[in-house]
Chains A and B, each alone.
Chain A
Amino acid sequence: MKLFGRKEKSSGEILAGGENAIANKEVEGLSQGQIVRRRFFRHRAAVIALITLSSIIVFVMTALDTKIGPVRIPGWWKWTVEDIPELRFEDCPGGTTGCPTLSINPSGEFGMGSHPFGQDDIGRDYFALVMNGARRSLMIMFVIGTVSGFIGVVVGSIAGFYGKRVDSVLMRLVDFIQTVPGIIIAAVIGKAAGRVGPLFLALFLGLLGWTGLARLVRAQFLQLREMEFVDAARVAGASNIRIAFKHILPNAVGQIIVSVTLIMAGAILTETALSYLGFGVVAPDVSLGLLISQYESSFTTRPWLFWWPGFFIISIALCVNFIGDGLRDAFDPRQRRRITKKDRLQAKVQTKAGA
């Protein structure tokens, strides 16, 4: 009875709706979040990228053991980085050793085998190595994104909100950090960080990467603080901090998020490049860039040692970039929906019907 009633109600809604459904929606009003979410999910590439990235993260994070203090969460993959199983050399091409056992044959069977990505020189499972490296790179990427995002927003908003003296001092600081050649100083620190660990490296890279974001946030603040709603808030007695973070910042959040995704996509490339040069993550720790630089010379004979880390770098960076693009479209108020062929046809039919 209850079920029936509900059903009837909903069908009644549809009947009443139909053509007016969209108009009703507009009257009902959507929150900023809802609009953005809707726009984002309409961006097909971004959604695909989001799904891919989250599955890569889950896949990578669960593959190996995770240690949080004394607690040890076992991963689902049978080898770890420390294991040194026997080198496989049956049916490998051209007398090489440790070739991959992954088979994705459309006619044959799908199988991971014992070492899907192959083995390295001494027989360590390459799948475990790549997973570990990807995990390291992802971690560094998020740390850099968070640190430089935070500093960039704080510095940019203070500079933009207070203007004048504060602004010019902070902007000189930005200039100053920009003149420090990033890759050189990062390499110096990275060389020292080999002793300290990748987390420190990530923190430091984060300390260098916020300048672009700070400029962006400052420009937004300079523009927004002249708006009438800021005056209104001030008249209502809001404090400076409240105005800056409750009234202005939400209006700039779109650009900030987009910029942070771009920083993150750049960060993973920087980290791998540094590790490739030997200044980032150093052995015995594993990172994707380090794996590539270690096996660069064996590309001709054992290409799989080269392909897989590269594949992971590219797919992570590509996904983050596409998500950033989707977010940009979603937050851009000027953006309208593009007119598709279908829309044009519908419009034609309607005008004909009207005439």
Chain B
Amino acid sequence: MILFGSSFLVYNLAAYASDPLAELRLSTDDGARQQIIALTRDLQLDVPPPVRYFLWLKGVLGLFVGKLNLGMTREASSVQEELAYAIPVTLRLVLVATITALILGLALGIISALRQYSRFDYGMTFLAFLLYSLPIFWVAVLLKEFMAIQFNNFLSEPNIPIRWMIIFSVFIGIFWSSLFGGERKRFWSVFGGAFATSFVILWAIDLTDWYLNPGLGPILIAFLAVGVAFGVTAISNGLNNVPAKKAALTMAGFAVLWYYPAQWIFNNLGSYLTIFALIVLIVLSGLGVSRIFSKIDRGPIARTAIITGIISGFLIVVDRIMQSWDDYRATDAVNGRPVPTYGQRKDQLVTDDFWLNNLDIIMHLVLPTLALILISLAGWIRYSRGALLEVLNQDYIRTARAKGLNERVVITRHAFRNMMLPLSSLFVGEFVGLVGGAVITERVFGWQGMGTLGIKAINSYDLNLLMGVNLLLSILVISGNLIADLVYSALDPRIRLGK
């Protein structure tokens, strides 16, 4: 009903605000007259807009009898086909950006709420305001200049000047030390530690030319996997939980043992199906491992084992993609400038290699996604900080603390879950909002998505195409709101719909 009204409004507004024949009328060319006649016939321009809308609506309602007809574009191609090509492109961009921004923003927001009024908190607040105020097109152009063009230049003559190493390490040091906070002595010791570590890492990267030939290798993966095992256990079970620790470490061990077999599988059978099969394998082995190590309370331990396994597996996949980096740079299509500024695929890159293709997609995703993340990160930091602070003031948190639960359990079990309630409904809104932001990002980075279609439609006064895009976006908003309501009532038993 609402959809009907809004599409009627937009159709007529757009129809009266634009004249698709204006340019042709001005032209004195002989062909122009015929083109006018042809366009008038094809697009039924002789019918007045309010009536024409119902002709269009008839095509849309054809959806229910299996004959969807959104009309023709000016170039006489079908609108459905154009949309079918554009939708996955935009969805890929927006989904990746929303999810990454959500995870990052949640983490930063939670930490800054837990350290309320610390230096880190003030820094994050300021960062959020700054990101709020950034125009996305401006950021996108900057990213293009500094992350792509300058970085590609850097790769052709790679060495990090010592000045930059120091500056970068100082930033890392400030980040970590403000994160841990505390007294002056602790502040400086954390700062020194972080500074030294990042400096050494940068130094090593520079010496080994890692960015030319990146990869993690079995040793690094072993270290990281053990680290992940401890980290996941610490957050979800607490390090005192011996079975959980054992299970997680076993999974990390598995990951390392699987490194060389996985290489062989990846090289010979690289496909999404293989990856899916491996994920299933990880989940099964996680369940098995938790069964061996635990007598009681198996659920959380199995969860820890599976999460550890998946993250370690993900590291191995990342490692494999990194190994394609050198080949990717060397291909003719890329020609030593791996960070692209334009398009969603390299058309010249013709290869059967699963990993090369994926690396290509990832490299094209990096910059537009980064631009979108920067824009939506601000919202998530503010929302999650606000939500957590609100929850931490509740009585049940005081009760949980009073009955002697440790802080980890209070935060992860009692506070985190309740804080996710309001955020879950925001997620949909943010997602829909980002589709709007994607219009601009697509334009800057030359993606052929929905936004580009919309702009094209407006510029060429292509009513059918415009209505196609508009219809999709409206459906997205409405179904988004519906999903948000449903999710909210499913998560929160206090809310009952239809009461």
Contacting pair B133 A300 (CB below 8 A): no
Beyond the given pairs A184-B466, A314-B135, 19 more chain A to chain B contacts, judged by CB atoms under 8 angstroms and listed by A's residue number, are A172-B2, A176-B5, A176-B6, A181-B470, A181-B477, A183-B439, A185-B13, A188-B14, A191-B17, A191-B458, A269-B133, A273-B136, A277-B440, A277-B455, A292-B137, A292-B141, A299-B141, A310-B135, A313-B133
Stretch at the interface among A32-40, A219-227, A316-324: A316-324
Contacting pair B137 A317 (CB below 8 A): no
- Within 8 Å CB of A20, what residues of B? none
Cβ-based interface call for B345 (8 A): no
Partner pick for B474 among A45, A180, A189, CB 8 A cutoff: A180
Partner pick for B458 among A179, A187, A318, CB 8 A cutoff: A187
CB distance from A134 to the nearest CB of B (A): 13
Encode A134-177 as 1/0 by CB contact (under 8 A) with B: 00000000000000000000000000000000000000100111
- Within 8 Å CB of B3, what residues of A? 179
Cβ-based interface call for B32 (8 A): no
- Bound state CA distance, A317 and B378, in angstroms? 14
Contacting pair B136 A314 (CB below 8 A): no
Cβ-based interface call for A338 (8 A): yes
- Within 8 Å CB of B137, what residues of A? 272-273, 276, 289, 292-293
- Within 8 Å CB of B6, what residues of A? 176-177, 179-180
Q: How large is the interface on B (under 10, 10 to 19, 20 to 34, 35 or more residues)?
A: 35 or more
Contacting pair B132 A265 (CB below 8 A): yes
Contacting pair A192 B10 (CB below 8 A): no
Cβ-based interface call for A296 (8 A): yes
Contacting pair B443 A313 (CB below 8 A): no
| Minimal Cβ-Cβ distance residue in B for A292 | B138
CB distance from A141 to the nearest CB of B (A): 12
| Minimal Cβ-Cβ distance residue in A for B133 | A317
| Count of interface residues, chain A, beta-carbon cutoff 8 Å | 42
Cβ-based interface call for B473 (8 A): yes
Contacting pair B2 A318 (CB below 8 A): no
28 contacts between A and B (CB under 8 A): A172-B2, A176-B2, A179-B474, A180-B10, A181-B470, A181-B473, A181-B474, A184-B10, A184-B439, A185-B470, A188-B14, A189-B13, A192-B18, A269-B133, A269-B135, A273-B136, A278-B459, A289-B135, A292-B141, A293-B137, A306-B141, A310-B135, A310-B138, A317-B134, A318-B130, A318-B132, A318-B133, A321-B129
CB distance from B426 to the nearest CB of A (A): 13
Q: Give the most central of A184, A265, A279, A296: most B CB within 10 Å.
A: A184
Cβ-based interface call for B454 (8 A): yes
| Minimal Cβ-Cβ distance residue in B for A315 | B133
CB distance from A36 to the nearest CB of B (A): 21
- Bound state CA distance, A257 and B220, in angstroms? 54
CB contact list, B444-493 vs A, under 8 A: 454-455, 458-459, 466, 469-470, 473-474, 477-478, 481
- Within 8 Å CB of A300, what residues of B? 145, 149
Contacting pair B133 A321 (CB below 8 A): yes
Contacting pair B436 A181 (CB below 8 A): yes
CB contact list, A71-128 vs B, under 8 A: none
Contacting pair A187 B454 (CB below 8 A): yes
- Within 8 Å CB of B469, what residues of A? 184
- Bound state CA distance, A273 and B135, in angstroms? 7
| Minimal Cβ-Cβ distance residue in B for A299 | B145
Q: Is the interface of A mostly helix, strand, loop or mixed?
A: helix
Contact (A179, B440) CB under 8 Å given A293-B137, A310-B138, A317-B133: no
CB contact list, B104-147 vs A, under 8 A: 117, 126, 129-130, 132-138, 141, 145
CB distance from A292 to the nearest CB of B (A): 6
- Bound state CA distance, A278 and B466, in angstroms? 16
Nearest 3 CB-CB pairs, A to B? Answer: A317-B133, A181-B473, A192-B17
- Within 8 Å CB of A289, what residues of B? 135, 137
Contacting pair B135 A277 (CB below 8 A): no
Cβ-based interface call for B9 (8 A): yes
CB contact list, A226-269 vs B, under 8 A: 265, 269
Cβ-based interface call for A182 (8 A): yes
- Bound state CA distance, A279 and B466, in angstroms? 15
Cβ-based interface call for A65 (8 A): no
| Minimal Cβ-Cβ distance residue in A for B477 | A179
| Minimal Cβ-Cβ distance residue in B for A338 | B117
CB distance from A137 to the nearest CB of B (A): 11
| Minimal Cβ-Cβ distance residue in A for B433 | A182
Contacting pair B135 A188 (CB below 8 A): no
| Minimal Cβ-Cβ distance residue in B for A180 | B6
Partner pick for A314 among B2, B134, B149, CB 8 A cutoff: B134
- Within 8 Å CB of B145, what residues of A? 299-300
Partner pick for B129 among A192, A276, A293, A325, CB 8 A cutoff: A325
- Within 8 Å CB of A177, what residues of B? 6
- Bound state CA distance, A136 and B473, in angstroms? 30
Cβ-based interface call for A54 (8 A): no
- Within 8 Å CB of B117, what residues of A? 338
CB contact list, A22-59 vs B, under 8 A: 45
Contacting pair A187 B13 (CB below 8 A): no
- Within 8 Å CB of B481, what residues of A? 175
CB distance from B118 to the nearest CB of A (A): 12
CB contact list, B1-59 vs A, under 8 A: 2-3, 5-6, 9-10, 13-14, 17-18
CB distance from B15 to the nearest CB of A (A): 10
- Within 8 Å CB of B126, what residues of A? 45
| Minimal Cβ-Cβ distance residue in B for A177 | B6
Cβ-based interface call for A178 (8 A): yes
| Minimal Cβ-Cβ distance residue in A for B432 | A181
Contacting pair B17 A313 (CB below 8 A): no
- Within 8 Å CB of A265, what residues of B? 132-133
- Within 8 Å CB of A277, what residues of B? 439-440, 443, 455
- Within 8 Å CB of B458, what residues of A? 184, 187-188, 191, 279
